[in-house]
Amino acid sequence: MRIEWKNSVNIRIGSGRAEIITGADDAIAALLNRWPGEHGPHYNEAKRICGMTTAGDFSSEVAREAFIAAAVEASVLDQRVH
């Protein structure tokens, strides 16, 4: 089940263009396929929570907050894009 967040999260991985993450499905794809460098505790928590959100076990806003923490940890949160 695809549930979009009320407010998207903007990230920029490496020198790539800004990406707009709109929900847990997008977040999981970014975490699993494009995430940079070593993975810290926020990455692991975001991966777990976003995966469980797609199964209905967590609210989408809990997943969003976990994803933001992982983005901050990895220095990919792009606050310049709105």
The answer to whether residue 66 sits within a structural domain is yes
The answer to whether residue 23 sits within a structural domain is yes
The tally of domains found in the chain comes to: 1
The answer to whether residue 32 sits within a structural domain is yes
* pLDDT value of residue 14: 85
The answer to whether residue 78 sits within a structural domain is no
Assigned token pair, 67: 């994803």
The answer to whether residue 47 sits within a structural domain is yes
* pLDDT value of residue 36: 93
Nearest to 65 by CA among 81, 82, 42, 31: 42
The answer to whether residue 80 sits within a structural domain is no
Burial 8-44 (b: 16+ CB within 10 A, else e): bbbbbbeeeeebebbbbbbbbebbeeebeeeeeebbe
Asked whether the predicted pLDDT for residue 2 surpasses 90, the reply is no
Residue pLDDT, tens place only, 12-59: 998 888 999 999 999 999 999 999 988 999 999 999 999 999 888 889
Residue 70: count other Cβ atoms within 10 Å of its Cβ: 27
The answer to whether residue 43 sits within a structural domain is yes
What is residue 4's DSSP assignment?
E
Q: Write out the residue range of the structural domain in which residue 25 sits.
A: 4-73
Residue pLDDT, tens place only, 60-69: 999 999 999 9
CA distance 36 to 14: 8
pTM, 2 dp: 0.91
* pLDDT value of residue 40: 95
The answer to whether residue 81 sits within a structural domain is no
pLDDT band with cut points at 50, 70 and 90 for residue 79: confident
